[in-house]
Amino acid sequence: MNRHHHTRRDFLGLTGANVIGLASGSLLDAVAFAEKKSADFDPRYADLVVFNAKIYTVDPSIPKAEAFAVKGSRFIFVGSTAETKAFIGKGTRTFDAKQMTIVPGFIDCHNHADGNILLYEVIVGNPYEVEFVTIASIIDKLRAKARKTPAGFWIDGYFFDDTKVKDSRQLNVHDLDQVSTEHPVCVHHRGGHTSFYNSKALELAGVNKHTPNRMGGTYDRDENGELTGRVTDRVRDVFNNVGKCETFTPEQKAQRDRDGMAYISKQFVRYGLTSVHHEGGDFFALQQVRARGELLHRVSFESSGDILEAMIRNGISTGFGDEWIRFGATSEHTVDGSFSERTMALSQPYAGSNPPYSGNITETQNDLNAWVERVQRAGIQPNCHANGDVAIDMLLTAYERAQQVAPRSDVRPKITHCTLINDDLLRRIKALGAVPAPFTTYAYYNPDKFHFYGEERMQHCMAYRSFLENGIRAAAGSDFSPGPFAPLMGIQGMVTRTGWNGETWGANQRISVDEAIQINTINGAYNSHEESIKGSITPGKLADFVVLADDPHTVNKDKIKDIEIIQTVTGGSTMYEK
Ligand SMILES: [Zn+2]
């Protein structure tokens, strides 16, 4: 028994530093798995051996390697090709990587994962890449839908991006009146904080040129005081209960949720994501998709509403679940507006705004304090959306207060976006051990919006260099649908700070390829308290990895986003293959 034990330990490659990293019980899992399989398979041998690769492990104890062995769902050995070949037995699958690059599976810490919108709704912009569309194409798509829809029902368009329009002007109420005067029409900006309405929708909601703005949002007007049709943030709630919406039977709804979830999972692995933090979504559908074997990525489920309330009531805290579906932080509790749609709360007004406009705060300090305290007392990792410096300040005040009135260790309060920082905010984030998840793909995808902020402010936005220098474990948060989720597009933007149009903004925040990979892997694992089981290619950790056709360290930095994903592997299983 002793000898057997010793042998297995050697075989697992669990020596020195690696054993220390496994305090969470993953060694036990790996052993249990080997035990179960040992009737069928010789435990000395791996299920999968990958060799002849350029492996960036993101594990400081062995940063580069040529090969690794996988047993069950975990890495059991990482090292040279010659050493690793010792794990090849009769039933072992082998993969000669032919000097391709392998990195840990990418982790996206903020994603709205709207699979059923992608599958079933009218999509008026490109969800994944930079692509310009015409206003006429938007009108056409929505008209086609209106023709099939009874009068009075909503006609919705999704994934609109106001700076990816060939007409180079704002979409307006008159455009949408061309879709229909019988149906309420809404075009949702992909950023999620602004929407564009036709006259019918405004009329049904009782909004006219005399309707005053309220706290948390605006009904935009042109220079003559007429409504433009653009409505921002919270005041859009006036549209909630007007007009008719398509209804579905419970069976139809369940089927759409399942198929949507399975669909988005396929998209994630296509781009190399093996873990994604979901902002809510249908939890039942998620479990069914997993049961059907169609969940290809791991989910940190960030709950709100009924599920969050049920967690609080029933004592379900962050960390409950398993390595495929686990309750993580809360979903983002919104404190201010949007970066891309220029409604985030700034201490200085937007460049050129007249009258001076400083964005929208959508929450009072008292309400925010109470919400954070309640969640923290329930043992749930709080997570708030804060973009502007004013909102981040409010949020930190609430997090600091919660640590005073309901202190807990290792909370890692999450800051979704954390876009515009300053030295004081950095100091407070570090002191709290808070974990920001800033935008990743924006530097490449959204340079056409940065002039609204100006270069000085952009030097403090998506401030990955500042976070690293201050010892803050920033992670990657694509915020899909607002941003594309492709991790390689994100990495390119972090490294170059240059957009699709060739403009560079805030070059002082550039980071290295290695740092960008860490942010997209191990820091993502840290963000959900899972760094002991994933985020690096380390013996004992989950075998989540991506095979890349080229090495992001050596290709032209402006081509990182174009590197082909050859394979995405989650838990030792190939989930995507080119
Ligand atoms: Zn979001």
Q: What is the pLDDT of residues 20-38, one digit of tens each?
A: 333 333 434 444 444 444 4
What is the Å distance from ligand 1's center to 386 Cα?
Answer: 10
What is the Å distance from ligand 1's center to 373 Cα?
Answer: 21
Give the confidence band of 41 by pLDDT, cuts at 50, 70, 90.
low
Kindly report which listed range (38-52, 363-377, 396-410, 504-518) carries the lowest average pLDDT score.
38-52
353: its two tokens = 């705004």
What is the Å distance from ligand 1's center to 47 Cα?
Answer: 39
**379-395 pLDDT, tens per residue?**
999 999 999 999 999 99
User: What residues pair up with 155 in beta bridges, in sequence order?
Assistant: 185
The torsion angles phi and psi of 51, rounded to 5 degrees, stand at: -140, 170
What is the Å distance from ligand 1's center to 315 Cα?
Answer: 26
CA torsion sign, 492 to 337 to 203 to 249?
Answer: positive
CA nearest to 373, candidates 346, 407, 349: 407
Looking at residue 215, its pLDDT comes to 85
In this prediction, residues 177-205 reach a mean pLDDT of: 96
* pTM given for the model: 0.89
DSSP 282: -
What is the Å distance from ligand 1's center to 64 Cα?
Answer: 34
How far from each other are the two terminal CA atoms of the chain, in whole angstroms? 45
What is the Å distance from ligand 1's center to 112 Cα?
Answer: 6
Looking at residue 44, its pLDDT comes to 85
What is the Å distance from ligand 1's center to 416 Cα?
Answer: 7
CA 114 – CA 482 distance, rounded (Å): 11
What is the Å distance from ligand 1's center to 317 Cα?
Answer: 21
Looking at residue 538, its pLDDT comes to 98
What is the Å distance from ligand 1's center to 466 Cα?
Answer: 22
What is the Å distance from ligand 1's center to 546 Cα?
Answer: 25
DSSP 55: E
Cβ(569)–Cβ(548) below 8 Å: no
The mean pLDDT of the chain is 92
| Residue 299 three-state SS | strand
Mark 281-320 as b/e (b = at least 16 C-beta within 10 Å). bbbebbbbbbeeeebbbbbbbbbeeebbeebbeeebebee
389-405 and 423-432 helices, crossing angle to 10°: 30
Looking at residue 535, its pLDDT comes to 98
- Counting DSSP H helices and E strands in the chain, the numbers are 20, 24
Looking at residue 17, its pLDDT comes to 33
Cβ(92)–Cβ(72) below 8 Å: no
What is the Å distance from ligand 1's center to 74 Cα?
Answer: 31
**528-547 pLDDT, tens per residue?**
999 999 999 999 999 999 99
What is the Å distance from ligand 1's center to 345 Cα?
Answer: 16
pLDDT over 80 (residue 360): yes
What is the Å distance from ligand 1's center to 111 Cα?
Answer: 6
Looking at residue 8, its pLDDT comes to 33
Looking at residue 61, its pLDDT comes to 96
What is the Å distance from ligand 1's center to 159 Cα?
Answer: 14
Cβ(352)–Cβ(308) below 8 Å: no
What is the Å distance from ligand 1's center to 341 Cα?
Answer: 13
pLDDT over 70 (residue 301): yes
**285-299 pLDDT, tens per residue?**
999 999 999 999 999
What is the Å distance from ligand 1's center to 482 Cα?
Answer: 7
CA 301 – CA 281 distance, rounded (Å): 8
pLDDT over 60 (residue 221): yes
pLDDT over 50 (residue 314): yes
What is the Å distance from ligand 1's center to 343 Cα?
Answer: 14
What is the Å distance from ligand 1's center to 479 Cα?
Answer: 5
Beta carbons within 8 Å of 552's beta carbon, 6+ residues apart: 101, 488, 491, 513, 517, 560, 563
Kindly report which listed range (149-158, 279-288, 365-374, 499-508) carries the lowest average pLDDT score.
279-288
Instruction: Please state, as a whole number, how many other Cβ atoms lie within 10 Å of the Cβ of residue 248.
Output: 12
Sheet holding 48-51, edge to edge: 74-79, 67-71, 48-51, 93-96
Cβ(505)–Cβ(450) below 8 Å: yes
What is the Å distance from ligand 1's center to 162 Cα?
Answer: 18
The torsion angles phi and psi of 504, rounded to 5 degrees, stand at: -110, 130
Give the confidence band of 18 by pLDDT, cuts at 50, 70, 90.
very low
**Please, what's the largest Cα pairwise distance for the chain?**
86
What is the Å distance from ligand 1's center to 476 Cα?
Answer: 12
Looking at residue 341, its pLDDT comes to 84
What is the Å distance from ligand 1's center to 536 Cα?
Answer: 26
CA torsion sign, 355 to 358 to 364 to 366?
Answer: negative
